[in-house]
């Protein structure tokens, strides 16, 4: 309890929010953040060996920053003082420091947990420094903002920054299953997954939805309508690991391949509204650019990669517009799978025929002995010719007639096709006896 919060009324029967009731009591019950709390990971080692230093927990809302601070204090036998940067000022800071000093005089360390530390101004953050340096307090700051910009450098240099990640849908479902007895309902895995998808890695949001939906499900079974009402939007049928997931992905891909931007936008919207992982959609768009457009429009893959970076940078919902923009671009771009078919043809030949030795003219000869053995003999350097071409055979002799890439006459590939014909005609003329 904070020093500055009113004492709880023992006669109060008002239930605490589900998210508060479900806080884990041990590190083993804590879900998520395996990159820092898994076996032998840095923060886990610090806690287990009781070698705690001041630290900053940086991450989005609802990923367990406050819970982790509670658990750290409990596992290290420290006094725990939660402190809100929203509600407190310099007067409260001085009172907390005095309490921490008294704890130290009695041989007990103090963990001061400062929620939303980025809301403290520079002077307020400076006030912590001498107490951190003397070891009067172990400061744990929580922030949703980049500490590099929001926490003063002197405090950062004395703290270890740990970046917390949004919970995965699987981790959120694990938490929801644990909470079902608390709200006295049963629920299907599909409904729990829908809640997890909507929560987008925020456990508090997931708990709130479950609590509201459970209150609207008096028969003891969580209903789809109750969940839909709780999130205040239509819950679309969408099993991220099942058939409907792949049906919608297939519909989006084939709409782009068929140059139908309206259909592509519809299927994209269905996936977005159902909560599909945006980076998964971005990866699929990159694949479409490579597989179905290829060299007919080489900029398509550039656009798709830029989209992926934009989605990663902006997140939801701003990044969704980038997905829509690239889906339209890919749908109206000229189509060619010539490069895709060319690679498949080359792979098929490699798998079905003996591995031919590399021709001697293509081998490097870094030693005198290798030169004597014929390595690099007959090599022709294209840049030494005015045409920039050579008639040198680059395929093994047994495969000299092989052709894999045959460009179409669509988009940029029309120019590539003409250029390739010119090259092949020139080479054929040079090889005439």
List, for residues 335-391, the tens digit of each pLDDT value.
Answer: 999 999 999 999 999 998 888 899 999 999 889 888 899 999 999 999 988 888 988
Q: Where does residue 140 rank: exposed (0-12), middle (13-18), buried (19+ CB within 10 A)?
A: buried
**pLDDT higher at 283 or 275:** 283
User: Which tokens hold the place of 415?
Assistant: 């120019």
CB 139 within 8 A of CB 54: yes
Give the count of beta carbons closer than 10 Å to the beta carbon of residue 122.
Answer: 11
Task: Tell me if the domain spanning 359-430 has CATH number 1.10.287.
Answer: no
Contacts for 388 with CB less than 8 Å, ≥ 6 apart: 382
Lowest mean pLDDT among 268-277, 314-323, 370-379: 268-277
Q: Mean pLDDT, to the nearest integer, of 284-303?
A: 95
**Between the CA of residue 312 and those of 151, 271, 276, what are the distances in Å?**
24, 17, 14
Alpha-carbon distance of 389 to 385, in angstroms, equals 7
Q: Which fold has domain 243-332?
A: Zinc Finger, Delta Prime; domain 3 (1.20.272)
- The DSSP code for 293 is I
Per-residue confidence (pLDDT) for residue 132, from 0 to 100? 83
Q: Give the pLDDT confidence of 163-189 residue by residue, as tens digits.
A: 898 898 899 999 999 999 998 899 988
pLDDT for the residue numbered 288 = 96
Peptide bond into 317 cis (omega under 30): yes
pLDDT band at residue 14 under the 50/70/90 scheme: low
Distance CA 194, CA 180 (A): 15
Q: How many CB atoms lie within 10 A of CB 67?
A: 19
Pick the CATH number of 18-163 from 3.90.850.10, 3.40.50.300, 3.60.15.10, 3.40.50.720: 3.40.50.300
Backbone torsions φ then ψ of 87, nearest 5 degrees: -100, -10
Rounded to a whole number of angstroms, the CA Rg of the chain reads: 31
Mean pLDDT of 301-318: 92
CA 202 distance to own-chain centroid: 14
Output the pTM of the full model.
Answer: 0.54
Geometric angle at alpha carbon 140, from 47 and 102, rounded to 5°: 90
Q: Is the pLDDT of residue 242 over 70?
A: no
Tokens of 4: 């500055």
Average pLDDT, the chain: 85
Report the number of secondary-structure helices (H) and strands (E) in the chain: 21, 5
């Amino acid at each position: 309890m904070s020093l500055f919060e009113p004492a709880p009324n023992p006669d109060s029967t008002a239930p605490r929010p589900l998210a508060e009731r479900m806080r884990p009591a041990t590190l083993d019950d804590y879900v998520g953040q395996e990159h820092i709390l898994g076996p032998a990971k840095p923060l886990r080692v610090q806690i287990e060996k009781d070698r705690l230093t001041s630290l900053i927990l940086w991450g989005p809302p609802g990923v367990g920053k406050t819970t982790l601070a509670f658990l750290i204090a409990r596992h290290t036998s420290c006094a725990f003082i939660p402190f809100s940067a929203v509600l407190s000022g310099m007067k409260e800071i001085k009172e907390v420091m005095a309490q921490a000093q008294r704890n130290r005089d009695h041989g007990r360390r103090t963990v001061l947990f400062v929620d939303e530390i980025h809301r403290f101004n520079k002077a307020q953050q400076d006030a912590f420094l001498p107490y951190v340096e003397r070891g009067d307090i172990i400061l744990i700051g929580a922030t949703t903002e980049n500490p590099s910009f929001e926490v003063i450098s002197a405090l950062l240099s004395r703290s270890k920054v740990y970046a917390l990640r949004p919970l995965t849908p699987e981790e959120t479902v694990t938490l929801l299953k644990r909470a079902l007895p608390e709200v006295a309902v049963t629920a299907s895995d599909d409904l729990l997954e829908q809640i997890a998808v909507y929560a987008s890695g925020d456990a508090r949001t997931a708990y709130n939805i479950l609590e509201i939906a459970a209150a609207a499900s008096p028969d003891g079974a969580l209903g789809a309508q109750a969940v839909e009402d709780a999130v205040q939007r239509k819950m679309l049928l969408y099993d991220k690991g099942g058939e409907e997931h792949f049906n919608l992905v297939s519909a989006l891909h084939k709409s782009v391949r068929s140059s139908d931007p309206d259909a592509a936008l519809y299927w994209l919207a269905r996936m977005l509204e159902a909560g599909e992982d945006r980076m998964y959609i971005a990866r699929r768009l990159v694949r479409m650019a490579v597989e179905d457009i290829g060299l007919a429009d080489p900029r398509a893959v550039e656009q798709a990669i830029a989209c992926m970076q934009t989605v990663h940078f902006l997140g939801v919902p701003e990044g969704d517009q980038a997905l829509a923009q690239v889906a339209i671009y890919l749908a109206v771009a000229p189509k060619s799978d010539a490069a895709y078919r060319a690679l498949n043809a080359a792979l098929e030949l490699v798998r079905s025929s003996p591995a031919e030795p590399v021709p001697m003219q293509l081998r490097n000869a870094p030693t005198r002995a290798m030169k004597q053995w014929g390595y690099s003999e007959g090599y022709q350097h294209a840049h030494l010719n005015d045409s920039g071409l050579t008639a040198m055979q680059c395929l093994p002799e047994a495969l000299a007639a092989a052709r894999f890439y045959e460009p179409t006459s669509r988009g940029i590939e029309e120019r590539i096709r003409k250029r390739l014909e010119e090259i092949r005609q020139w080479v054929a003329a040079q090889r005439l006896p």
